[in-house]
Structure 1
Amino acid sequence: MVKRIISLLILVPIAIVLIVLSVANRQSVTLAFNPFDRSDQVMSMTLPFFVYLFGAVIAGMVIGSVATWWGQGKHRARARSSKKEAVKWHKEADRLKADNAPQKEERQGFPALGSPNS
């Protein structure tokens, strides 16, 4: 519940700022992809300015997420190899327990008297 309240305290002001930016930047802006002829309508887009702002924010978030994921690859690789090694050692421990189990069953009787077979 506390986590939800904290996230609301953070997300609500961000949403308010985004709504205010959207309302304040409603005028249309033309983005021209042809640097030599700006009047070329085929290689240009006319959208409200807030669409470009949101697009830039979303693109930045995606690029940042990919960069973070890429940078943490070495940690994920180390975790995978540690997991494989842990599984290997658990199997080895289980095998040793299985090998030692018959020896424990053979030792019936009292330890001070020795084994019953001798």
Structure 2
Amino acid sequence: MPEPVLLSIAAALATRAVAGLYELVRARFEDDPVAIAALTAAEGAPEDSAEVRVLGDVLERTAANDPGFAEALRREHAQAAREGRVNQAGRVTNHISGTVHGNVLQAGDIQGGVSFK
């Protein structure tokens, strides 16, 4: 099973949420019919689908064989995540900058109240 970041990238590719990421992958896959088929099959698929997992596997194999691609892929994904353009499959993304004087809570779903004492 691909590592979580590759599944997040595959999910972003499936929705074409990040144009630069999609173009990077499409260009790298252009001479590989199996990889292009995986990318095409994943388009519009839910992030937890078999198609997205297969695309994650293809990304993992390609990245393992091409360190330059792996670095560019992770860099583009990280930039998109910092800018809030990528939903990281069930994760919460907070952007905190500057000096914090007080409490910060990072959470997914909260059932009930939250208090800081």
TM range (shorter): under 0.3
Largest Rg, 1 or 2: 1
Structure with more contact order per residue of length (Cα contacts < 8 Å, sep ≥ 6): 2
Query: Which has a greater percent of helix?
Result: 1
Identify, as 1 or 2, the structure richer in strand.
Answer: 1
